[in-house]
Amino acid sequence: MDFILLILAILPTVVLGTYIYKNDKIEKEPASLLIKLLAFGVLATFLTIILTIVLGAIIPFFSGTGEGLDFLSLAIYVFFGIALIEEISKWIFTYVAAWNEPAFNHVYDAIVYSAFVSLGFATIENILYVLGNETFGDAISTAFIRMIFSVPGHAFFGVMMGYYLGLAKLTSINKVEDKSKKYLFLSVLIPATCHFLFDYLLMLNFDYSMLLFLAFAIFLFCFAMSKVKRMSKIPTLLFPNENNLGGIYNAFGNNANMNVPPRYCSQCGNVLNGPICSNCGKKNY
């Protein structure tokens, strides 16, 4: 029975990881790196536990379960005690694993990296929740509910994180440090906010809270999947290519025989090395 539950707990990670990996149209990431990212996601769960214990010891308010709190108190509890801690933990390990990684040469790569760290995190969390039930029936119910909502939620928080982390790397390489710092900040804030809304709406207890949660979950999932589809087809190189400074790279990252005139950003006028401007981050597609 435990083996069946373990398979159900791991299955959504396999499905979502395959989806994100297969959508990497330009240049597949090394398998060894993806395994490392999943392992870092596991480590992020331990960092989350440590940070949660420390925060609860410093501020006893965060040591509870959040039950019985009013709307505002619950919002504070969920954002700082759950969403921010978990996303910071995942961000730290994503940054350590990816920022100076030689294979990190396209914006979409960051989406792959952060999503895989998030999936590693979600896998351990899922196993603990599923195997922690007293009866097999409860465990099956938990497995399917988390398969539909919680694990995809973590993966798509990772997509949001990776999108901004990729822009941060792009602007950093091109010496636009103010923009890079902005995108680094957003690579934590946006997924933390999405995570907060996801958990907060789920934990609210009034007549229409579940409808609001379902509406937000559907919106988040559709938006993140569209971002994966779109960004996986945009081959903006992070590193400027002197031989084809203004070129738009094809779906295989190959600029051979592409004798095209320079293109310029519609917002700042910077010469483009791909569809996303390295100076201001504007999408030119």
For residues 35 and 126, membership in a common domain is answered with: yes
> Of 233, 240, 90, 253, which Cα lies nearest the Cα of 157?
90
Compute, in degrees rounded to 10, the torsion defined by CA atoms 219, 223, 225, 230. Answer: 160
Instruction: Count how many domains the chain has.
Output: 2
For residues 22 and 122, membership in a common domain is answered with: yes
pLDDT the model gives residue 249: 36
For residues 281 and 208, membership in a common domain is answered with: no
Q: Rounded to whole angstroms, how far apart are CA atoms 123 and 149?
A: 13
More confidently predicted of 47 and 176: 47
How far are the Cα atoms of 156, 157, 158, 209, 275 from residue 161, in angstroms, in the given order? 9, 6, 5, 26, 20
pLDDT the model gives residue 259: 46
Q: Which of 90-99, 211-220, 261-270 has the lowest mean pLDDT?
A: 261-270
For residues 20 and 102, membership in a common domain is answered with: yes
Whether pLDDT at 25 is above 80? no
Among 233, 256, 277, identify where a domain stops: 233
For residues 223 and 246, membership in a common domain is answered with: no
Provide the β-strand partners of residue 237.
106
Q: Considering the entire predicted model, what is its pTM? A: 0.82
Tell me if residue 271 falls in helix, strand or coil.
strand
Q: Rounded to whole angstroms, how far apart are CA atoms 188 and 177?
A: 17
Quick one: average pLDDT of 224-246? 66
For residues 66 and 142, membership in a common domain is answered with: yes
pLDDT the model gives residue 234: 67
- Structural domain range at position 262: 240-285
For residues 55 and 84, membership in a common domain is answered with: yes
Residue count of the chain, please give it.
Answer: 285
Q: Rounded to whole angstroms, how far apart are CA atoms 233 and 249?
A: 10
pLDDT in tens, 182-212: 999 999 999 999 999 999 999 998 778 889 9
For residues 204 and 256, membership in a common domain is answered with: no
The percentage of the chain sitting over the pLDDT mark of 70, rounded to a whole number, equals 88
For residues 164 and 277, membership in a common domain is answered with: no
For residues 113 and 70, membership in a common domain is answered with: yes
For residues 103 and 190, membership in a common domain is answered with: yes
For residues 168 and 268, membership in a common domain is answered with: no
Q: Which of 87-96, 122-131, 132-141, 241-250 has the lowest mean pLDDT?
A: 241-250
Mean pLDDT estimate for the chain: 85
pLDDT the model gives residue 237: 66
How far are the Cα atoms of 44, 103, 198 from residue 30, in angstroms, in the given order? 21, 8, 32
Whether pLDDT at 243 is above 70? no
Residue type, 241: N
Provide the β-strand partners of residue 106.
237
Q: Rounded to whole angstroms, how far apart are CA atoms 183 and 172?
A: 10
pLDDT the model gives residue 246: 37
pLDDT the model gives residue 175: 80
More confidently predicted of 89 and 103: 89
